[in-house]
């Protein structure tokens, strides 16, 4: 029988699933077109993926701000601010394309990162009213909303990128403007109480320094950082690698679509797997699958290699990221929520920023052709996987496991 919290949590999860599905479809647009538009606008091909890097940088810098806003003003207000950033960022990016200005396009990309930051908190919002038993499923179901965005986003690119020829991609960014305006209405149905303002004698929770001494906080942060950064490292270069190896833009869009599907389809059962086998096991499996993605990518540049590698990349991300999110949500008190979540996403998107910046350099400036650059991107996964794997082993085998707060 459901408790009242279960009932309210499930209602909010439905809203967040819809938001992930509809509003989240702009993210594949950014990642499919960011590198291609950058290559078109930039005078130096080494800067082709800089627009994607600035999206992630904007997300990193705004994460603590968004977290504080949501702690003070509520989730609904924060999510509406995110959609406003999506409108402004995409409009500015479209204008940059129209006037052939790389600088203006970069500014629009940076502003769009504020939307990406807000979307990152959908998964945390799902846990706000959830009981401990429902928590893994709540996170998984919200992430599963990306299944629709995986289909809608690349198709949006295919149907709108040529609307304003001879200037490519303007139509896609204008479509994202409309998407944000329409999707903002979803949050009117969200019912998550604004956290009460703390009184002088209310619990404050641990400081950031104290939180970073807790393995139950640090290890899931590392798992999320590595899973997300490796996914971004490889996915950012994928359209450039696919086209550089002689395939078409449509092939690149379809491969990214298959990748995003693989990111979110497992969400229908990831929560069940976490409850059955434990969150540490699922994170470990995710890291192994990510290693498998790099192995397949290095084995060749046939179209099937790209498809298989990107599908494995999506599944590995899903296990690592949802596992890390679930583990983190259990490791802090309610009064520490805003502090922990903002700190986590700042760290995650900071690492992703480094990965996306590195992706363009590795892909275009490795001294060889597209195949050489693609190999360099995938070899770069190794140290990150070693970091996450080592942290997880230290946590489990080293006897550092702490009892979760819940």
Question: Does the pTM of the predicted model rise above 0.85?
Answer: no
**Across residues 368-385, what is the average pLDDT?**
89
**Across residues 72-99, what is the average pLDDT?**
94
DSSP class of 300? -
What burial class does residue 115 get, using C-beta atoms within 10 Å of its C-beta: 0-12 exposed, 13-18 middle, 19+ buried?
A: buried
Would 238 be classed as within a structural domain? yes
**Across residues 102-122, what is the average pLDDT?**
93
**Is pLDDT of 226 > 90?**
yes
Backbone φ and ψ for 74, nearest 5 degrees, come out as 105, 160
How far is residue 176's CA from residue 59's CA, in Å, rounded to a whole number? 17
Would 205 be classed as within a structural domain? no
Give the domain range for residue 377.
Answer: 8-184+212-396
Would 312 be classed as within a structural domain? yes
**Across residues 268-291, what is the average pLDDT?**
91
Would 389 be classed as within a structural domain? yes
Would 331 be classed as within a structural domain? yes
The C-alpha R_g of the chain, in whole angstroms, comes to 20
Looking at residue 156, which CATH number applies to its domain? 1.20.1250.20
SS3 at position 301? coil
The whole-number pLDDT of residue 196 equals 65
CA atoms within 13 Å, Cβ hemisphere of 11: 12
Would 404 be classed as within a structural domain? no
Average pLDDT, the chain: 85
pLDDT, one tens digit per residue, over 185-200 is: 999 999 887 766 665 5
SS3 at position 229? helix
Would 357 be classed as within a structural domain? yes
Collect all residues with Cβ–Cβ distance below 8 Å to 131 and sequence separation of at least 6: 3, 5, 6, 9
| DSSP code string of 103-149 | HHHHHHHHHHHHHHHHHHTHHHHTTTT--TTTHHHHHHHHHHTHHHH
The whole-number pLDDT of residue 102 equals 93
Q: At CA 103, angle to CA 100 and CA 107, rounded to 5?
A: 115
**Is pLDDT of 314 > 60?**
yes
Q: Is 106:84 a contact under the CB 8 Å cutoff?
A: no
**Is pLDDT of 315 > 50?**
yes
Q: Which of 94-98, 131-135, 136-140: highest mean pLDDT?
A: 94-98
The whole-number pLDDT of residue 4 equals 45
**Is pLDDT of 3 > 60?**
no
The whole-number pLDDT of residue 404 equals 44
**Is pLDDT of 201 > 70?**
no
Q: Count up the domains in the chain and report the number.
A: 1
Per-residue confidence band for 350, with pLDDT thresholds at 50, 70 and 90: confident
Would 54 be classed as within a structural domain? yes
């Amino acid at each position: 029988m459901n408790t009242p919290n279960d009932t309210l949590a499930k209602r909010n999860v439905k809203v967040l699933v819809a938001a992930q599905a509809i509003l989240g479809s702009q993210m594949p647009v950014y990642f499919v077109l960011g590198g291609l538009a950058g290559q078109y606008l930039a005078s130096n091909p080494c800067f082709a993926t800089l627009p994607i890097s600035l999206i992630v940088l904007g997300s990193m810098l705004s994460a603590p701000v968004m977290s504080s806003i949501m702690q003070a003003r509520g989730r609904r207000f924060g999510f509406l601010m995110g959609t406003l950033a999506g409108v402004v960022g995409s409009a500015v990016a479209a204008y940059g394309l129209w006037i052939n200005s790389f600088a203006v396009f970069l500014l629009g990309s940076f502003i769009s990162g504020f939307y990406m930051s807000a979307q990152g908190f959908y998964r945390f919002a799902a846990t706000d009213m959830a009981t401990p038993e429902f928590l893994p499923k709540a996170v998984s179901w919200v992430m599963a909303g990306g299944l629709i965005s995986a289909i809608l986003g690349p198709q949006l690119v295919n149907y709108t990128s040529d609307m304003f020829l001879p200037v490519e991609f303007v139509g896609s960014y204008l479509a994202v403007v409309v998407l944000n305006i329409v999707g903002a209405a979803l949050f009117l149905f969200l019912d998550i109480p604004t956290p009460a303002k703390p009184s002088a004698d209310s619990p404050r929770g641990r400081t950031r320094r104290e939180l970073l001494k807790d393995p139950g906080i640090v290890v899931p942060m590392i798992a999320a950082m590595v899973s997300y950064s490796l996914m971004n490292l490889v996915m950012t270069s994928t359209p450039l690698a696919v086209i550089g190896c002689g395939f078409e833009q449509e092939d690149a869009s379809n491969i990214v679509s298959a990748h995003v599907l693989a990111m979110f389809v497992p969400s229908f059962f990831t929560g069940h797997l976490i409850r059955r086998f434990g969150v540490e096991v699922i994170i470990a499996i995710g890291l192994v699958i990510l290693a498998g993605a790099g192995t397949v990518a290095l084995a060749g540049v046939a179209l099937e290699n790209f498809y298989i590698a990107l599908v494995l990349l999506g599944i590995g991300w899903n296990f690592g990221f949802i596992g890390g999110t679930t583990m983190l949500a259990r490791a802090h008190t309610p009064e520490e929520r805003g502090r922990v979540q903002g700190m986590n996403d700042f760290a995650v998107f900071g690492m992703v920023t480094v990965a996306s910046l590195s992706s363009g350099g590795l892909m275009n400036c490795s001294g060889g052709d597209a195949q050489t650059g693609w190999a360099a991107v995938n070899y770069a996964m190794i140290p990150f996987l070693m970091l996450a794997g080592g942290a997880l082993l230290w946590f489990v085998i080293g006897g550092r496991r702490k009892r979760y707060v819940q």
